[in-house]
Amino acid sequence: MDIFREYNIKCTKQRQIILDIIKNNNGITIKEINELVKKEINLSTIYRIIELFLNKEIITKKIVDNVVIYELKEKTHNHYFSCNKCHKKTIIPKKDIENFENKIIMNNDYEVTSHNIEFRGICSKCKGK
Amino acid sequence: MDIFREYNIKCTKQRQIILDIIKNNNGITIKEINELVKKEINLSTIYRIIELFLNKEIITKKIVDNVVIYELKEKTHNHYFSCNKCHKKTIIPKKDIENFENKIIMNNDYEVTSHNIEFRGICSKCKGK
DNA sequence: TTGGATGCAAAATGTTTGCACCCGA
DNA sequence: TCGGGTGCAAACATTTTGCATCCAA
């Protein structure tokens, strides 16, 4: 499969299955993955594959409602405005984020290694009800 | 202590100690807390207190560098740059945030009701080792 | 063919729980 | 005083590891 070649790792049936599961379930726990594949994949293999995917940055680890979940890492590191009504996401232009980050750095002399920027509200379409 | 009264929970020596640690170490793991207090607080008590603080929303659980950390939940809605080494937080000036937000809104015609902005990295003091 | 990937079982870690005792309100 | 909080030990859950076998390249 393409993605395995891209990340230069061997393509196995187990890795393929787990990758598909993570793709199809946006935000899933180890326990849930295990429930889905316990007949075909050993739990220690699941841990090893998750570890591999994390190291290769194919997936990311997050906390949602105080629970650890895994989800596909977006290749392009984008930031979104999320509408609370229609739940659609709109990308905030990369240039805007960069300008903002540069300003923060310039003003403070920091080395920024990661950021998390998220806006929520009502989008223009939903504003007119 | 004030905060315990505010959240309507009993104030004990152990809770006070752990709250202070979380206050002073921005982003700390259970293991690190245990290292600091293992002489005076039992590990199961640490878990129980962390659980309590989470339920009362005194603290929040996050993932930084694929590790689960706990930190104080801010009441006043500020934005910070957090240093991964010394764990100090520096407030990002409100005006910077506002300018940024205004730009997003102007460019997209959104009504922003909430945002979450966070920068992490190495601060100027820690950069020189 | 062959080195890395997997399954299995066991070990190591991490988290929760029951209960007796303690202590803050 | 007394009900909730804590310490301790044991139970339970999660994660890692060693090794024999398997299989993708």
**Can you spell out the DSSP letters for A9-21?**
----HHHHHHHHH
Residues A15 and A64 in one domain: yes
pLDDT of residue A52: 98
A109 touches B at CB < 8 Å? yes
pLDDT of residue B46: 98
The angle subtended at Cα B71 by Cα B99 and Cα B122, nearest 5°, is: 60
Residues A57 and A83 in one domain: no
Instruction: Tell me the CA–C1' distance in angstroms for B31 and C14.
Output: 10
Angle between helices A43-55 and A30-37 (to 10 degrees): 130
- Do B104 and A81 lie within an 8 Å CB cutoff? yes
Residues B10 and B61 in one domain: yes
- The tokens 């940024």 sit on which residue? B100
Q: Residues B46-75: what's their mean pLDDT?
A: 93
Cα distance from A32 to chain B (closest Cα, Å)? 19
Residue type present at position B75: K
pLDDT of residue B1: 59
pLDDT of residue B51: 98
Higher pLDDT, B15 or B97: B15
Give backbone dihedrals phi and psi of B73, rounded to 5 degrees, phi first: -85, 125
Residues B38 and B53 in one domain: yes
Q: Pick the residue of B92, B104, B123, B125 with the most A CBs within 10 A to test the interface with A by mutation.
A: B104
- Do A81 and B108 lie within an 8 Å CB cutoff? yes
Q: Which of A27, A56, A72 is the C-terminal boundary of a domain?
A: A72
B113 touches A at CB < 8 Å? yes
Q: Residues B70-90: what's their mean pLDDT?
A: 77
- For residue range A35-77, list pLDDT tens digits in order: 999 999 999 999 999 999 999 999 999 888 899 999 998 766 6
- Do A124 and B110 lie within an 8 Å CB cutoff? yes
For chain B, the domain total comes to: 2
Residues A23 and A68 in one domain: yes
Tokens of A63: 């906390």
Cα distance from A114 to chain B (closest Cα, Å)? 5
Nearest-by-Cβ selection for B104 from A96, A107, A110: A96
Calculate the average pLDDT of chain A: 85
Nearest-by-Cβ selection for A112 from B108, B109, B121: B121
- % of chain A residues with pLDDT over 90: 47
Residues B68 and B122 in one domain: no
Distance of CA A93 to CAs A34, A81, A113, B50, Å?
A: 38, 10, 19, 38
pLDDT of residue A11: 96
Predicted confidence band of residue A87 (pLDDT cuts 50, 70, 90):
low
Residues A67 and A90 in one domain: no
